Amino acid sequence: MSHHVTFQDLPEGGEKFDPARGSKLIGGFAMAGLIGLIGSAFFFFTRTDTFAYSWLFAVFVAFTVVVGACFWILLHNASNSGWGISIRRLFENLANMILVVGLFALPLLVPAVQNPLWEWMAHHREAAHHAHDSGETVKEALHHMAQADSHLHILVEKFGYLNIGGWHVRFFLYFTILWFIASTLRKRSVMQDSDGNIKHTIWSRQFSCLLLFFFALTATFASVDWLMTLDYSWFSTMWGVYIFAGCAWSSMAVMILLVTWLKSLGYLNKVVTDEHYHLMGKLLFAFTVFWAYIAFSQYFLIWYANITEETRFYLTRNTETWRWVSIFILVGHFAGPFVILLDQQRKKKTRWMVGMCLWILFMHVVDIYWNIIPERGPSLTHGEQWLIPYAWIQDVFALLAVVGGVGFVFLRGLGKFSLYPCRDPRLIESANVVN
C-alpha cells in the first residue's frame, strides 16, 4: 500500500500543463488537422455531394466524444462521487471542446451540403420553392408533391418536427445547451481552485441534477436530427440511447489515454493511481455491455417486428461489404473488449488499458462510420450503387481534419488551468481512493 497523499504532498495551485512538454503529440494533431483541412477544402468544393457524408461522419465522431465528456462531468457531480475528482478537470476541458466541434459543424448549415445528406431538406426546399410561386404554405406544397410521389407523404405527416426552420433552431440549441453545461461547470470548478469553498461543489451538484435532463434531450435529438433523418422514412426508438452509449464509451477511452499520456510526461502522478485505472476500466466495461445491450435491442426489435420502413436500415448494413463490417462490429465492439476488460487485474495494467482504449476508439469510429456511410451510395445514386468508389479517401481526410483540429485545440488549451481541481475538498479522498 502506498503512502497516504495529503495536501502537503501536492504543489500549491495544482499542476499546470506545459504544452512544450507534449509538443510531439500536439504537433502530430496539428499536422493531421492541417493535412485534413487542406484535403477537406479540396473535396468540399469538388465533390460536395459525397464529401457531405464524410464531413458529417467526422464531425459526429468528435461530437460523440465531447458529449460523452459532458455526460461524465454531469454524472460525476450529480451522483456526488468522490473518486474521480482527480480526473474531473480533464473531462471539463474535454466537454468545453463543444464550441470547437460547433465550429467544425458549421459547414453542415450550407444548403449544398444539407441537400445530398438529408433528402427531406431537398424536398422541403423544393416545396418552399413551389409555395413561393403559388402562395400556399410549405406544408400544403409538400402535400401537393406527395400526391405525385406517395413516398413524400410521410414528410407531410412529420412536418411538425421535421422542418428546416425547426432543424436549425435545434442545431443551435444543442450546442448552446452543451456549451452552457460545460462552461458553467468548469467556471465553478476553477473558482474553487482559488477559494476552496465547498459551496461550489454543492452548487454544481444541484446544477448537474437539473441539467442532466436537458443534456439527455440534446444528445438524443442531435442524433435523431443528424443521423436518423439521413433516411427520413426510417425510425428507431432506441436510436438516441444507442448513440449515447457510444458517446460515454468513447469518451472514457479518450480519458484513459489522456491520463496515461499526462502521467508519462510527469503530471498527475500523485493524484491518479492504479485504482483510478481500475475504476475507469470498470465504467468502460459497463458501457461495453450497455452498448451491446442497446445495439442488440434495437436490432432485435426491428428484426422481430419486420416492418418495411424499419428493416431497411439493417438490410443495407447486412448486404455485400457492409455485412462484414456489421460482423466486425459485433466482435470488435463488443465481444473482444468484453472478454479483455472482464479481468480485474488487467484493468489496472496501463499497457493493456492503453491498447484497449486505442482499439475502442477505433471501433467507435467504425461504429459511427457504419451508421452514416451506408446511406451515401444508395442516396446519391438512387439505389444503384452501394458504395461510391474511392469516397473513403474523403472520409479519411475529413476525420483527420476534425480530430486533428479538435485534438490540437484541446491539448493546447490544457495548460490554461490546473490539471486537477487543486483545492476541491475531496481531492485527497480521490487521490487515496481504494476500490
Partner 1 sequence: MDVAMGNPRSKLPWLVFFGGATGFTVAFLMQFLTQVVIYPTVVQGKPTDIYTLPAFFPVMFELTILFSAFTTLFGLLALIGLPRLNHPLFASKRFPKFSDDGFFVCIEARDAKFTKEGTKSFLEGIGGKNIELVEDEI
Which spans of this chain sit near partner 1 (rule: CB under 8 A)? 1, 296, 299-300, 303-304, 306, 344
Taking the least distance from each CB to partner 1, the nearer of 1 and 20 is 1
Residue 1 beta carbon to partner 1: minimum distance, rounded to whole angstroms: 6
323 vs 117, 195, 332, 379, CA distance in Å?
A: 23, 56, 14, 18
Taking the least distance from each CB to partner 1, the nearer of 2 and 150 is 2
Place of cell 504537433: 27
Residue 299 beta carbon to partner 1: minimum distance, rounded to whole angstroms: 7
Taking the least distance from each CB to partner 1, the nearer of 296 and 359 is 296
Taking the least distance from each CB to partner 1, the nearer of 214 and 296 is 296
Q: Measure the CA–CA gap between 43 and 38, rounded to whole angstroms.
A: 9
Q: Cell numbers for 156, please give them.
A: 407531410
CB 32 within 8 A of CB 404: yes
Q: Measure the CA–CA gap between 239 and 217, rounded to whole angstroms.
A: 12
Taking the least distance from each CB to partner 1, the nearer of 154 and 238 is 238
Residue 344 beta carbon to partner 1: minimum distance, rounded to whole angstroms: 8
Residue 300 beta carbon to partner 1: minimum distance, rounded to whole angstroms: 6
Question: What phi, psi does 418 have (nearest 5°)?
Answer: -60, 150
Residue 294 beta carbon to partner 1: minimum distance, rounded to whole angstroms: 13
CB 151 within 8 A of CB 144: no
> Which of 40, 30, 274, 234 lies closest to 120 in space, CA to CA?
234
CB 71 within 8 A of CB 253: no
Taking the least distance from each CB to partner 1, the nearer of 129 and 323 is 323
Q: What DSSP state is assigned to residue 96? A: T
Place of cell 493524484: 271
Residue 338 beta carbon to partner 1: minimum distance, rounded to whole angstroms: 12
Residue 334 beta carbon to partner 1: minimum distance, rounded to whole angstroms: 12
45 vs 59, 115, 216, CA distance in Å?
A: 18, 15, 35
Taking the least distance from each CB to partner 1, the nearer of 304 and 390 is 304
